[in-house]
């Protein structure tokens, strides 16, 4: 029997800190994409409610404890940190736990760092706590949520982890250098 090493997507790459901003990998979690079948939207919402969550409106997430449900596109949400029991037969489910690199960027200048890579307005007035956007990080697909006053959770495809860390680290250092210069 082969003995296989289990590595997280950002193993050996994170955490990184620059200019008071920290980029760290989030702990591995169960991730299931949920796409309700036709006319099953309400039934899916009921099951998610029973988990203490719910079906998120576009651009929103619903969190409770370690579990959350993020809107992730038209007719689709990501259930993170909780099992999808009860949704079989009423929604298309796919286990994506190994498919994503999940990171948290935190610190006073985290918005300034992201502004270099993400083409949406992430200021608190436009993108408040529990707001979610599917957009780009450089040229990568990104799922982003504001999880704190100065903290954002980021999800990119696992195959892009190294590139995402590289791009974010370069932006963090550039913002830190500007800060030092003034």
Partner 1 sequence: MRITCPLCGSRDRREFHYYGGAVYAERPAADAPPEAWDGYLHLRDNPAGETRDLWYHELGCSAWIEVTRNTVTHAVLSARLLAGPERQGRSARSILTKKKPNSGGKGR
Task: Tell me which residues touch partner 1 (CB under 8 A).
Answer: 57-60, 73-74, 76, 119-121, 126-128, 131-136, 141
- Find all residues with CB under 8 Å of 102, minimum gap 6, and list them: 9, 25, 26, 29, 153, 154, 155
The residue (of 130 and 174) whose beta carbon lies closer to partner 1 is 130
Which of 127, 136, 29 has the alpha carbon at shortest distance from 84?
29
The residue (of 95 and 121) whose beta carbon lies closer to partner 1 is 121
Question: What is the smallest separation between the CB atom of 122 and partner 1, expressed in angstroms?
Answer: 9
Question: What is the smallest separation between the CB atom of 146 and partner 1, expressed in angstroms?
Answer: 8
The residue (of 74 and 85) whose beta carbon lies closer to partner 1 is 74
The residue (of 8 and 135) whose beta carbon lies closer to partner 1 is 135
Q: Which residues of 93-115 are buried (b: 16+ CB within 10 A; e: fewer)?
A: eeebeeebbbbbbbbebbbbbbb
Distance of CA 169 to the CA centre of its chain: 17
Question: What is the smallest separation between the CB atom of 142 and partner 1, expressed in angstroms?
Answer: 8
């Amino acid at each position: 029997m082969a003995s296989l090493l289990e590595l997280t997507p950002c193993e050996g790459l994170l955490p990184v800190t620059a200019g008071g901003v920290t980029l760290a990998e989030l702990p591995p979690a169960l991730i299931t994409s949920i796409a309700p079948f036709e006319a099953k939207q309400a039934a899916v919402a009921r099951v998610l409610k029973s988990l203490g969550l719910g079906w998120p409106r576009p651009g929103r997430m619903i969190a409770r404890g370690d579990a959350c449900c993020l809107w992730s596109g038209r007719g689709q949400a990501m259930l993170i940190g909780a099992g999808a029991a009860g949704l079989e037969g009423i929604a298309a489910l796919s286990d994506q736990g190994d498919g994503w690199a999940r990171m948290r960027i935190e610190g006073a200048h985290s918005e300034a760092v992201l502004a270099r890579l993400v083409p949406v307005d992430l200021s608190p007035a436009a993108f408040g706590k529990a707001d979610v956007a599917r957009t780009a990080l450089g040229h990568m697909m990104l799922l982003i949520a504001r999880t704190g006053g100065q903290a954002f959770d980021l999800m990119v495809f696992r195959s892009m982890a190294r590139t995402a860390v590289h791009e974010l680290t370069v932006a963090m250092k550039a913002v830190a250098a500007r800060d030092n210069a003034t």
